[in-house]
Amino acid sequence: MPKFYVYITDRLHDSGILGFGHERVFSEIYDAESKDEVKKLVLEDFDYMPKVREKMTAKVPETERFITSIHELNDYWHNIWLTTHMCKECRNQYTKLEKSKFRTGGSTEFCSAECQKQFNMRFEVASVDSYNSATVYMITHRPTGKRYIGVTTRWIMQRWWEHIKAKSGSPFHQLVLASSITDFTFEILEVFKPSEHDPYAREAFYISKYNAVELGLNSVSGHMQE
């Protein structure tokens, strides 16, 4: 059965992009035999819409707030919307359709704008080679003994503060938010020049050494440079 990509825009909300456009309020993929069948399915899901208006024209009455776009998916667009990606920060899997449906934001390398922000805070946009030193650190949750290993080229206490304020949804940050700051210890494992050692490789070494994925709070065995 053919698949159709559907998105609905709200005429009353400006997207803010270059001063024009409308806010996209819904995205979904429907299995249907034709566009007419898709229109019926959309109206079932959005019974407050008087009809499915596919094109934005001067003839659209002001009372019709929502505009619906319907596109049959070929192989190319099927891959665009439904291919599974892995977030560069939290390593959770997502599709472009899910990002569109839930409007999580962020570039295509991240599942959300929050994850992209956290990743950039760790290493910013610049190459780690532009910094004088890198630090591998370990945060231990006292009540459970579970460890989190990280690496940063930023001021180390600033990195700790970023963890305290983060809302990425990762198991580690959820535990931080649910705990007292006194429940954690913060240790420096190694300091080195990024020009002499790969920070990501050193982080991965200590994550493996302390088995911080299976027995700790790391989600993955280290960040890969891509």
Q: What is the DSSP string of 16-55?
A: EETTEEEEEEEEEEEE-SSHHHHHHHHHHH-TTSSS---S
Q: What is the pLDDT of residue 63?
A: 62
pTM here is 0.44
Type of residue numbered 32: A
Residue ranges of domains in the chain: 3-82, 126-209
- Tokens 């400006």 map to which residue? 14
CATH fold for the domain made of 126-209: GIY-YIG endonuclease (3.40.1440)
| pLDDT tens series, the chain, 226 aa | 888 888 887 766 555 544 445 677 778 888 999 888 988 888 887 765 555 655 555 555 666 667 777 888 888 888 888 889 888 878 788 888 888 777 788 888 888 888 888 777 665 544 444 457 899 999 999 999 999 999 998 888 888 888 888 877 788 988 998 999 899 999 999 999 888 899 999 999 999 999 999 999 998 866 543 2
Q: What is the pLDDT of residue 125?
A: 40
Tokens of 211: 């088995």
What are the Cα distances from residue 6, in Å, to 18, 32, 93, 104, 206?
A: 24, 12, 22, 18, 46
Closest by CA to 116, choosing from 148, 85, 72, 161, is 85
